[in-house]
Amino acid sequence: MRVFVGLPLPDAASEALEALQSDLRAGRHVPPENLHLTLAFLGEVTLPDLEALHLELQQVSWSPFELRLSGLELFGGPHPRALVIEARGGKPLRHLRDKIRSAARGIGLDLPRTRFRPHVTLARFPRDMSTQDATSLGRFLAAHGDAALPAMSVAGFALYRSHLARDGARYEVLADYPATA
Ligand code: 3AM
């Protein structure tokens, strides 16, 4: 099963991001129910490992913290593959991510060492984006590049299963882990 751990967004944030997306005439928009912040991508995991991971994640102790989404960015270099809004959660966000990675390593999962650039993906683009779409994207960024949402409180993370399909992934929440303090 293909899984990852992430932060779901409060409805108000998903709605604000959906309103923002509605102005973008390029790429494939991430549907509101899929909007999330990835904390750890785990890839293919066996059922026994998934059960072990669930038990470990239940032991993670953490307190609610504030998260701010602001500033649009393109990921993927000169041929952008994703439009994201950056997330700022300071040390509490990093600590939570570290604890989740430790939990996954604790049960023997192999996690690549990658720089953490917390973000919520808003849209994805094909490798060969048309000139028209590139122009639309440029206009969108000029108008909304400094978009900022009100601070939100993070009080739970989730274990997601990713179902891949031709028309984009669908994410299923397998378990929720509320803050412990
Ligand atoms: O939407 P974001 O960027 O948060 O890009 C994938 C998505 O992240 C990422 O995991 C999230 C849920 O699919 N992802 C997919 N494959 C990945 C991989 N091989 C990956 N992240 C790292 N390595």
Residue type, 53: L
Establish whether residue 70 lines the binding site of ligand 1, counting it when its CB lies within 6 angstroms of any ligand atom: no
- Ligand 1 mean position to 181 CA, how many Å? 29
* Nearest CA owner, ligand 1 atom 9: 41
Q: Which helix (H) or strand (E) holds 111?
A: none
For residue range 90-104, what is the model confidence (pLDDT) as tens digits? Answer: 999 999 999 999 999
Establish whether residue 34 lines the binding site of ligand 1, counting it when its CB lies within 6 angstroms of any ligand atom: no
Quick one: average pLDDT of 153-179? 96
Alpha helices of 59-164 — where are they, by DSSP H?
A: 90-106, 131-144
CA separation for the pair 110, 155 (Å, rounded) = 27
At 135 the pLDDT is 96
Whether the CB-CB separation of 79 and 129 falls below 8 Å is answered with yes
Tally of CB atoms within 10 A around 5: 26
ipTM rounded to 2 decimals = 0.93
At 151 the pLDDT is 98
- Ligand 1 mean position to 41 CA, how many Å? 6
Q: Round to the nearest angstrom and report the end-to-end CA distance of the chain.
A: 31
- Ligand 1 mean position to 67 CA, how many Å? 20
- Ligand 1 mean position to 37 CA, how many Å? 10
Among residues of the chain, what percentage have pLDDT more than 70? 100
For residue range 17-58, what is the model confidence (pLDDT) as tens digits? Answer: 999 999 999 999 999 999 999 999 999 999 999 999 999 999
* Nearest CA owner, ligand 1 atom 7: 38
Q: How confident is the model at residue 181 (pLDDT cuts 50, 70, 90)?
A: confident
- Ligand 1 mean position to 129 CA, how many Å? 20
Which ligand 1 atom minimizes the distance to the CA of 75? 3
At 77 the pLDDT is 85
